[in-house]
Amino acid sequence: MKLQGKITNWNDDKGFGFVEPNGGGTRAFVHIKAFNSTSRRPVDGELIIYELVSESNNRYKATNIKFARDNKENTKGHERNTNKSGKPKTYVLSSLFTVLFCIGLVWGVFHRQLPFFIGFAYLLISLITVLVYSKDKYSAQTGRWRTPEATLHFLSLIGGWPGALVAQKILRHKTSKSEFISTYRVTVFFNVATLLVIYTEQGQSLLHGIVLPIIRSLIN
C-alpha cells in the first residue's frame, strides 16, 4: 500500500532520515538508496510517497520511494524553466559559460597571453575535482565518510570549477543544495575574476615579472 509522509531528521551527509506518515501512524526509516530516482536529494519537511516494510524488532523502513511533488501538477512549472530539449535553463547557461571560458583559456595559451602551465593546471585540477566528487557521491550512497564541502569549494576556487560543473551534472551530485550551489558560483566568480586580471597589462607585468620567476626558481 502506498503511503504519503513527511521527511524528518534527514542527514544528507549520511544519506538517511525518517518519515512521518500523514495523519499519524508508523514512523519509518528512510535511506537514499530506497528512492526510485536519485536525481536530487531530499530535505527535511519534504513529502514523499512510499511503501512500508516491516523489519525485525518492530522496526519499519520505507521502500520504493518517490517525491510527492514529482507529479503532473509540476509539469507546467518544469516546462517554463526548461528549453525544448528538456534541460533546465540554468544548466544550459552554465554549460555555455563554461564552454566559452575554456575556449578563451585555450586561446590565451596559444597566443601566449597565458603560460601553458595555467591551462594545464585547469585541466589537471578539474580532473581531480571530478574524481573527488565521484568519491563523495559514492560515500553518500554507501554511508561512508564524506568529503567536506569546503574541500569541494576550494578545488573550484583554485581552478577546478569546470570539472565540478561536469561532475554535478553527470553525477547529479550537490545540485539540490541551493546553499552549496550559491557558494560554488562565488568560487567561480573569484577564479574567473583573478584570471581576467592576468589578461590586463598590470596582470601581465605581475605574472611575468614576479610570479613566473618564483615558479621557475622553485622548479629549478
Distance (Å, whole) CA 102 – CA 68:
39
Residue range(s) defining the domain that contains residue 10: 2-73
- Of 73, 90, 113, which closes a domain? 73
Q: By the 8 A CB rule, do 50 and 3 touch?
A: yes
- pLDDT tens-digit readout, 1-49: 788 899 999 988 888 999 998 877 888 999 988 888 666 788 888 888 9
Q: Give the domain CATH number at 49.
A: 2.40.50.140
What is the pLDDT, as a whole number, of residue 148? 92
| Same domain, residue pair 20 and 57 | yes
Residue-wise pLDDT for 121-151, tens only, equals: 999 999 999 999 999 888 877 777 889 999 9
Give residue 220's pLDDT band: very low, low, confident or very high (50, 70, 90). Answer: low
User: Based on the domain organization, do 95 and 132 belong to the same domain?
Assistant: yes
- Strands 2-11 and 28-31, by their bridges, are unpaired
> Do 119 and 213 fall into the same domain?
yes
Domain match, 69 and 15 both: yes
Residue type, 212: L
CA atoms within 13 A on the CB side of 74: 6
* Domain match, 130 and 213 both: yes
Q: Do 56 and 24 have their domain in common?
A: yes
Asked if residue 205 and residue 97 are part of one domain, the reply reads yes
Q: In terms of domains, do 112 and 130 share one?
A: yes
Residues 43 and 123 in one domain: no
Residues 92 and 44 in one domain: no
The total domain count for the chain is 2
Among candidate residues 33, 51, 73, the one where a domain is terminated: 73
What's the pLDDT band for 75 if we cut at 50, 70, 90?
very low
The pLDDT value recorded for residue 17 is: 94
**pLDDT surpassing 50 at residue 97:** yes
Query: Both 179 and 86 in a single domain?
Result: yes
Nearest one of 11, 56, 64, 55 to 34, comparing CA atoms: 64
Domain end point (choices 73, 92, 118)? 73
Do 100 and 25 lie in a common domain? no
| pLDDT value of residue 179 | 87
